[in-house]
Structure 1
Amino acid sequence: MSAYSKIEVSAPGSIMLMGEHAVLFGEPALACAVDVRLVVTLRPRPDRQVLIDSALGQYQGSLDNLVPMPALAFVLAVIEQYAAQLEQGFELSIRAGFSHTVGLGSSAAVTAATTAALAAHAGHSTAPEDLFSIALAAVHQVQNGRGSGTDLAASLYGGVIGYSLAPCEIRPLSGLPPIVLYYCGYKMKTPDVLALVEQKAARQPALYSGVYRLMGQTTQAAERAVCEQDWTALGELMNLYQGLMDALGVCDTTLAEMIYRLRAEPGVLGAKISGSGLGDCVLALGHVESELPWESIPVSVAATGVEIRYETN
């Protein structure tokens, strides 16, 4: 029997600060947790049934026969990682404080929170470093091996993290930069953006390799700026990285307009796409006073990552 009558896990959303695209080619990335959270509540059952209640759908199955459901693919992939090790089923409630349509790492947050809840249910370690490899395996299962895990690391650890893919290294950083986020009103799925960039890179492989190396060098300098809380330097590096994103072909007219309008604000030190591009969000460093014609997403850097609360029988 489980030692707990209820396990409640909250995980923050996340955004990429720097390292988009290049992280998949061995370069470092920077990401941060943001102060909007998703909550997963697990209640053990006496049988092996699995019931999931989520805004994305309702699910009923068994630990011995998990039927696929695309809307809950990340959650079910995590459950598959633990199914053979669990004696009891459970009821899982998922409540998000932000929309999955906006690029705040909702898939990473639900994967992180579900992994922590099931690790606790199984009596395993819930330390971030122990949860990460299991959660990343679930993401890769859903995305056919794709996904760097940067956003996952940010949700698990909180704050700002430096991240490298091979060999995998997660570096929690001390600075919490002031950020502003705007949503352009549409987004293209990351795998589709990656496919477009791959097609272009195939025609100019040497040049694209050079762009990725420059992205990595820029991100390394940005990591130092975060550690030193040198926000002026970080803003300059964000602008530089945006030029490299433009070189990859992932900046469109709307995003460019947003970026240059934000840079014109006296309180903004830098602005760039956050994420893979061709839609979604633009990130600014600093403060914005003007009313702008795009959806403002009120976020700040969250100092804490996954948080777990227990209730005992």
Structure 2
Amino acid sequence: MTRDIELYVSAPGKVILHGEHAVVHGKVALAVGLNLRTFLRIRPRKDNTVSIILPNIGTKLSWDVSRLRTLLPSFQDAKDEPRSPSSEHLDGLKKFLGFPDGSTDTESLAVLAFLYLYLSICGRDLQSTEIVVWSQLPTGAGLGSSAAYSVCMATALLTSCGRIANPLQEGTETSRWTKKELDLINRWAFQGEKVIHGNPSGVDNAVGTWGGALRYQAGKIHPLERVPMLKILLTNTQVPRSTKTLVAGVKDKLLKFPDIMSPVLASIDAISQACERVLEAMAEGPSAAHYSVLEELFDINQHHLSVIGVGHPSLDRLCQVTASHGLHSKLTGAGGGGCGITLLRPDVDPAVVEAAKRELTGCGFQCWETSIGAPGVSVHPPSSVIEEVKQAFSAI
């Protein structure tokens, strides 16, 4: 590992624009980069210690490098090519950390993913280092927070170990990693996601790596080119839900009413494809007509999602509040609570948005003005790191 490197990287969260639940049944889903980001700083330490600091969840852990080296024999053959974490890997790490079997809390999973990636990527090159990860993304909200974490971690470790170039170093021709390097980042981040989620789809880490928008269908991921950035209001209803239960409920309805439900899922599929065409057209120059179509697609899809049983009174309230201000919303993700997105046209009056935010906050919801179609994993010169991040890191 390069001893003198200090690197800042970030990766976006994600939202599902269209295709929730229908994607489980082979239909198209569109996932887009959410410009709420996770930031990571990696820098050398002068002692013989590896430390990870996660201020969002109050975690600060350190280990002696020589102790970590004792874990290497089972990891060395994973260095050249990303390999799925085995039960042997995870059981060994849990024993080393003193975590009980079945630990699924955020801290345990984050630390396990870090150590798995650190040992697998760096192998015999283990060096003293400090990693700090801070995020604008809430955890457990279906916004890809764990994938953004894994993407940042894989990027920082691959770069600091010299496995991929540092785009900021003198002589580098581009400020971005190459397609080949991004593919390697994505494949390693997928392994981190496996540590955390067991059997992820790969969509979240792909969005975190590539950014923009991705078309996902039947396990195949296809990045869309030249996707416009769209302003949105993201609202977290803070109503907990079980994705597994909601997915099972849709399946039950489909089995019970196949002639009714199949056309609804087919219509959701058509919405995703129509939205994809509009996004591609907007890359040539967005117009008011494009935004009107996107708003109509939001409205239609939200009704469909309620029909298939994944609506919730909190999401109905979100749509009612924003509609009263002339705005258009839909749920994003599993539904049953969770988050919703509201499209903000370029010409919307800021006072209208503020009024909607006040009313939604009064309902007990959390709101962020942000954008979708955000860039993927990025490297930042220290001077350009946003003030919010600087304050979070300086407080450590």
TM-score by length of 1: 0.84
Cα shift at 1:76 = 2.8
Q: Cα deviations across residues 210-247 of structure 1 (Å, max 9, x unaligned)?
A: 44333222101111111222121111112222122112
Alignment-derived partner of residue 298 in structure 1: 369
Matches within 5 A, 1:190-269: 190-204=243-257, 208-229=261-282, 230-266=290-326, 268=327
**What SS class does the counterpart of residue 5 from structure 1 fall into?**
coil
Matches within 5 A, 1:12-27: 12-27=12-27
**What SS class does the counterpart of residue 52 from structure 2 fall into?**
strand
Match of 2:329 among 259, 271, 285: 271
1:42 matches 2:37: no
Task: Indicate how the Cα distance of structure 1 residues 171 and 31 shifts in structure 2: closer, same or farther if over 3 A, else same.
Answer: same
Q: Cα deviations across residues 123-143 of structure 1 (Å, max 9, x unaligned)?
A: 224533332222223323432
Q: For the residues of structure 2 that align with 1:58 and 1:205, how far apart are their CA atoms? A: 52
Q: Cα deviations across residues 167-226 of structure 1 (Å, max 9, x unaligned)?
A: 332224422223222222323243443344345445456755544333222101111111
Match of 2:126 among 88, 113, 118: 88
**What SS class does the counterpart of residue 163 from structure 2 fall into?**
coil
Q: Cα deviations across residues 2-25 of structure 1 (Å, max 9, x unaligned)?
A: 264222211222222112222333
Task: Indicate how the Cα distance of structure 1 residues 188 and 121 shifts in structure 2: closer, same or farther if over 3 A, else same.
Answer: same
More strand by share: 1
User: Which one-letter code corresponds to 2:302 in the other structure?
Assistant: Q
Alignment-derived partner of residue 33 in structure 2: 33
Alignment-derived partner of residue 184 in structure 1: 237
Q: For the residues of structure 1 that align with 2:5 and 2:236, how far apart are their CA atoms? A: 40
Q: Confirm or deny: 8 A CA contact 1:4 1:121 kept in the other structure.
A: no
Larger mean CA deviation between 89-98 and 247-256 belongs to: 89-98
Cα shift at 1:254 = 2.0
Q: For the residues of structure 2 that align with 1:84 and 1:48, how far apart are their CA atoms? A: 19
Task: Indicate how the Cα distance of structure 1 residues 212 and 110 shifts in structure 2: closer, same or farther if over 3 A, else same.
Answer: same
Q: For the residues of structure 2 that align with 1:123 and 1:158, how far apart are their CA atoms? A: 23
Q: For the residues of structure 1 that align with 2:381 and 2:117, how far apart are their CA atoms? A: 22
Alignment-derived partner of residue 109 in structure 1: 148
Q: For the residues of structure 1 that align with 2:115 and 2:229, how far apart are their CA atoms? A: 33
Alignment-derived partner of residue 75 in structure 2: none
User: Which one-letter code corresponds to 2:119 in the other structure?
Assistant: A
Gaps of 5+ in 1: none
**What SS class does the counterpart of residue 300 from structure 1 fall into?**
strand
Larger mean CA deviation between 289-298 and 220-229 belongs to: 289-298
More helix by share: 2
Larger mean CA deviation between 223-232 and 299-308 belongs to: 299-308
What fraction of aligned residue pairs are identical, expressed as a percent? 25
Query: How many residue pairs align between the two structures?
Result: 308
Match of 2:61 among 51, 59, 62: 59
User: Which one-letter code corresponds to 2:135 in the other structure?
Assistant: A
Alignment-derived partner of residue 205 in structure 2: 152
Q: For the residues of structure 2 that align with 1:189 and 1:116, how far apart are their CA atoms? A: 31
Alignment-derived partner of residue 143 in structure 1: 197
Q: Confirm or deny: 8 A CA contact 1:2 1:88 kept in the other structure.
A: no
Task: Indicate how the Cα distance of structure 1 residues 43 and 163 shifts in structure 2: closer, same or farther if over 3 A, else same.
Answer: same
Task: Indicate how the Cα distance of structure 1 residues 41 and 250 shifts in structure 2: closer, same or farther if over 3 A, else same.
Answer: same
Q: Confirm or deny: 8 A CA contact 1:18 1:31 kept in the other structure.
A: yes
Q: Confirm or deny: 8 A CA contact 2:230 2:373 kept in the other structure.
A: no
Cα shift at 1:272 = 0.6
Cα shift at 1:116 = 1.1
Gaps of 5+ in 2: 72-91, 165-176, 283-289, 383-396
Alignment-derived partner of residue 136 in structure 2: 97
Q: Confirm or deny: 8 A CA contact 2:268 2:301 kept in the other structure.
A: yes
Q: For the residues of structure 2 that align with 1:165 and 1:91, how far apart are their CA atoms? A: 39
User: Which one-letter code corresponds to 1:88 in the other structure?
Assistant: L
Q: For the residues of structure 1 that align with 2:234 and 2:269, how far apart are their CA atoms? A: 23
Q: For the residues of structure 1 that align with 2:24 and 2:190, how far apart are their CA atoms? A: 14
User: Which one-letter code corresponds to 1:117 in the other structure?
Assistant: A
- Give RMSD over aligned pairs: 3.0
Q: Confirm or deny: 8 A CA contact 1:182 1:281 kept in the other structure.
A: yes
Cα shift at 1:82 = 5.1
Cα shift at 1:284 = 1.4
